[in-house]
């Protein structure tokens, strides 16, 4: 009897699938349906497509080419890029995400090398900068910093972090330290004669904790080296604020405190981590990572000393998946490097966790002096080596083919009456999806489906939301989305009707990075990113998706 029931259920399910997948292809786009009939048909469609679609997250992988992690399966933390003019390569130092492992390491420095942001090699010297084995030493654990060259020597400024604070032998949790090397690919040796830099005494600083992330650069206007340090300090009213302290030196060895270069202005950041100043054209840019929101922000000035003002547009270029950013230039193009966090348990339901994969964007200056990011051209070229033809699984609603490749206009006349096209999974480790997208009206949203269990309710939404001037990733069911929904991850962007937007989506295992018009990006950790059903959709909107392409390296 049980066997007969199972067979009967399979027959009924197959009948629903054949009936409604056929209807979705042939239904007249101009037929208006009542809300009740729409719901019944949508429910039936959900039953049918649930048997035909793939929406289970894959197990996390370790074979990353583009968004590198360590070959031994270890994730990376804060990155410190340096461009070497001798080899024409970027050296990317990072904190290796190990803490009290079998040999008692705590975030030692390692490095990658690349010329094209697709092929990376691990530095042959292995551990570039080691933590101390002395539990009382300031550098018992390591934090981030940067590398600068003077003469024939390379100077690595870094955070000495001792998690044993407070104890009888550890009175300062963090301090700024120095190590040197004669080569970018050899071990840096701590300079024992260098006086560890701690917060100034008696000036309102947190004198025992929260003093880290040195960034040193040469200031040609004053012929001095400048060091930025993330710190916390009381303002005149006794309120604590995250601040960026400034130090100066003529020889990289002796440093003088030169006040606060930025205190967040009207905003109160707990810590502005990994600060950096760089110049493009006649404008100086101050960049930092907010420890609370996990956003990377930037400010502008005509002087290296400020005052620092907000950009004309938005003051961030990515979402929460791009953290602790630093930049480096090859003399022609500048690139911004960061890391994308994992999620606990390697599941999409997990919480934000420290350590992840390397992510890199090209960063450039717009005509109004604001910054923008784009896919690195070398990566784009590599990812477009071979065309891959996606296989359509199904479609629903008002879908009109347009001239030119895989091009369609999707029209949805009401909320939750989602027009869509769904494609079969792409069973590859890495690939790129691109399209030109425009809309004539949008009363809700439109975009791309990832990990589609059906075509209208249960999928991750890469959403254009013009009414809220943002592009976002949302992982909740469509019926739970409202105008007050806080996005899982988003980036601000002002959209306009009847305007073409170039969209490029790079996917590698659980990494998914979207570039919107080569102006902003949205970097994400999604375990459903690859090997699942995906597609395009419009909800209470009329949208054109032109020239949808999939390409592979």
Sign of torsion over alpha carbons 254, 258, 261, 266 = positive
Q: Write down the pLDDT at residue 101.
A: 86
The contacts of residue 198 (CB under 8 Å, 6+ apart) are: 172, 175, 176, 207, 211
Query: In terms of pLDDT, which residue wins out, 46 or 177?
Result: 177
What local confidence, expressed as pLDDT, does residue 467 receive?
A: 97
Residue 401 and residue 368 in one domain: no
pLDDT of 23 > 50? The answer is: no
Domain-embedded: residue 67: no
Half-sphere exposure of 265 toward its Cβ, with a 13 Å CA cutoff? 10
Residue 258: phi, psi to the nearest 5? -125, 35
* CA-to-CA dists, residue 483 to 468, 472, 517, angstroms: 9, 13, 24
DSSP 320: T
Q: What is the CATH number of the domain that holds 111?
A: 2.115.10.20
Q: What does pTM read for this prediction?
A: 0.91
Residue 79's contacts (CB-CB under 8 Å, 6 or more residues apart) are: 92, 93, 94, 324, 326, 337, 338, 339, 358
The DSSP bridge partners found for residue 84 are 89
Pair 483, 499 in one domain: yes
Task: Flag whether 3 is in a domain.
Answer: no
- Taking the C-alpha atoms of residue 541 and residue 417, their distance in angstroms, rounded to an integer, is 10
Furthest C-alpha separation in the chain: 89
pLDDT at 404: 87
- 374 in the same domain as 486: no
Kindly state whether residue 193 falls inside one of the protein's structural domains: yes
Question: Which among 383, 401, 435 is the end of a domain?
Answer: 383
Q: Are 176 and 157 in contact, with CB atoms under 8 Å apart?
A: yes
Structural contact between residues 490 and 447, judged by C-beta atoms closer than 8 angstroms: no
Judge whether 104 lies within some domain: yes
- A 10 A CB-CB count for 454 gives 27
Residues 527 and 466 in one domain: yes
Same domain for 394 and 379: no
CATH of the domain at 495: 2.60.120.560
Residues 33-54 have pLDDT tens digits of: 333 344 445 555 544 444 589 9
Distance of CA 127 to the CA centre of its chain: 26
| Closest CA relative to residue 213, chosen from 194, 197, 193, 234 | 197
Instruction: Identify whether residues 424 and 350 lie together within a single domain.
Output: no
* Domain final position from 338, 356, 383: 383
Residues 373 and 434 in one domain: no
| Same domain, residue pair 368 and 402 | no
Assigned domain for 506 exists: yes
Same domain, 344 and 417: no
Q: Is the same domain home to 100 and 162?
A: yes
283 and 422, same domain (yes or no): no
CA angle, corner 332, sides to 331 and 337, nearest 5? 80
pLDDT band per the 50, 70, 90 thresholds, residue 103: confident
Residue 41 domain-assigned? no
Query: Quick one: pLDDT band at residue 209, thresholds 50, 70, 90?
Result: very high
Is residue 1 in a domain? no
In 424-510 the beta strands, taken as DSSP E runs, fall at 430-450, 460-465, 470-474, 489-492, 501-508
In angstroms, the Cα distances linking 477 to 329, 351, 363, 538 are 42, 18, 34, 15
Classify residue 114: in a domain, yes or no.
yes
Average pLDDT over residues 136-156: 98
Q: Give me the pLDDT at residue 41, please.
A: 52
Asked if the model's pLDDT at residue 2 lies above 80, the reply is no
Query: 249 and 218 in contact (C-beta within 8 Å)?
Result: no
Phi, psi (degrees; rounded to nearest 5) at 380: -60, -45
Distance between CA atoms of 151 and 347, rounded to whole angstroms? 48
How many CB atoms lie under 10 A from the CB of residue 474?
22
Give the residue from 383, 406, 433 where a domain finishes: 383
Residue 419 in contact with residue 410, Cβ under 8 Å? yes
Q: Which domain holds residue 97?
A: 76-383
Model pLDDT, residue 102: 86
Residue-by-residue DSSP string for 343-407: EGGGSTTSPEEEEEEEEEEEEEE-TTS-EEEE--HHHHHHHTSEEE-PPEEEEESEEEE-SSSEE
How many domains in the chain? 2
Is a pLDDT exceeding 70 seen at residue 15? no
**Per-residue pLDDT tens digits for 478-503:** 999 999 999 999 999 999 999 999 99
Whether 434 and 353 map to the same domain: the answer is: no
Query: What residues contact residue 173 under an 8 Å CB cut-off, 6+ apart?
Result: 161, 162, 163, 165, 166, 208, 209, 210
Q: What is the pLDDT of residue 30?
A: 31
Share the mean pLDDT of the chain: 92
């Amino acid at each position: 009897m049980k066997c007969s029931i199972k067979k009967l259920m399979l027959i009924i399910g197959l009948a629903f699938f054949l009936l409604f997948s056929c209807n979705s292809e042939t239904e007249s786009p101009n037929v208006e349906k009542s809300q009740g009939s729409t719901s019944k048909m949508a429910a039936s469609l959900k039953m049918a497509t649930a048997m035909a679609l793939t929406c289970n997250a894959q197990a996390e992988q370790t074979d990353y080419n583009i968004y590198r992690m360590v070959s031994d399966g270890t994730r990376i933390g804060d990155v410190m890029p340096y461009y070497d003019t001798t080899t024409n390569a970027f050296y990317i130092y990072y904190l290796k995400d190990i803490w009290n492992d079998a040999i008692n390491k705590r975030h030692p420095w390692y490095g990658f090398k690349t010329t094209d942001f697709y092929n990376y090699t691990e530095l042959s010297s292995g551990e570039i900068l080691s933590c101390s084995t002395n539990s009382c030493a300031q550098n018992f654990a390591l934090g981030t910093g940067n590398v600068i060259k003077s003469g024939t020597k390379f100077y690595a400024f870094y955070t000495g972090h001792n998690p044993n604070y407070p104890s009888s032998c550890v009175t300062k949790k963090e301090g700024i330290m120095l190590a040197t090397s004669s080569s970018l690919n050899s071990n840096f040796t701590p300079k024992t004669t260098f006086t560890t830099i701690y917060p100034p005494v008696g000036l309102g600083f947190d004198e025992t904790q929260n003093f880290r992330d040195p960034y040193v650069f040469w200031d040609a206007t004053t012929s001095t080296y400048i060091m930025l340090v993330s710190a916390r300090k009381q303002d005149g009213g006794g309120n604590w604020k995250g601040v960026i302290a400034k130090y100066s030196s003529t020889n990289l060895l002796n440093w003088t405190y030169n006040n606060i270069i930025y205190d967040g202005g009207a905003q109160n950041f707990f810590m502005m981590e990994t600060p950096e100043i760089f110049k493009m054209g006649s404008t100086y840019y101050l960049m930092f990572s907010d420890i609370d929101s996990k956003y990377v922000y930037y400010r502008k000035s005509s002087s290296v000393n400020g005052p620092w003002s907000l950009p004309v547009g938005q003051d961030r270029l990515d979402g929460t998946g791009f953290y602790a950013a630093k930049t480096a230039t090859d003399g022609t193009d500048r690139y911004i490097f960061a890391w994308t966090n994992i999620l606990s348990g390697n599941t999409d339901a997990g919480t934000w966790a420290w350590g992840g994969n390397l992510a890199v964007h090209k960063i450039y200056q717009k005509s109004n002096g604001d910054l923008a990011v784009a896919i690195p051209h070398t990566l784009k070229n590599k990812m477009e080596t071979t065309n891959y033809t996606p296989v359509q699984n199904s479609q629903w609603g008002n879908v009109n083919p347009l001239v030119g490749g895989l091009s369609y206009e999707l029209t949805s006349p009401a909320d939750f009456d989602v027009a869509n096209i769904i494609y079969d999974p792409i069973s590859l480790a890495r690939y790129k999806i691109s399209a030109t997208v425009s809309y004539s009206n949008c009363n809700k949203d439109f975009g791309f489906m990832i990990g589609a269990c059906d075509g209208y309710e249960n999928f991750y939404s890469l959403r254009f939301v013009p009414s809220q001037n943002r592009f976002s990733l949302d992982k909740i069911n469509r019926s739970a989305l409202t105008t007050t929904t806080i996005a899982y991850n988003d980036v601000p962007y002002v959209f306009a009707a009847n305007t073409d937007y170039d969209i490029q989506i790079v996917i590698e295992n659980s990494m998914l990075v979207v570039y919107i018009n080569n102006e902003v990006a949205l970097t994400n950790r999604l375990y459903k990113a690859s090997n699942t059903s995906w597609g395009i959709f419009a909800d209470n909107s009329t949208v054109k998706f032109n020239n949808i392409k999939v390409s592979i390296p």
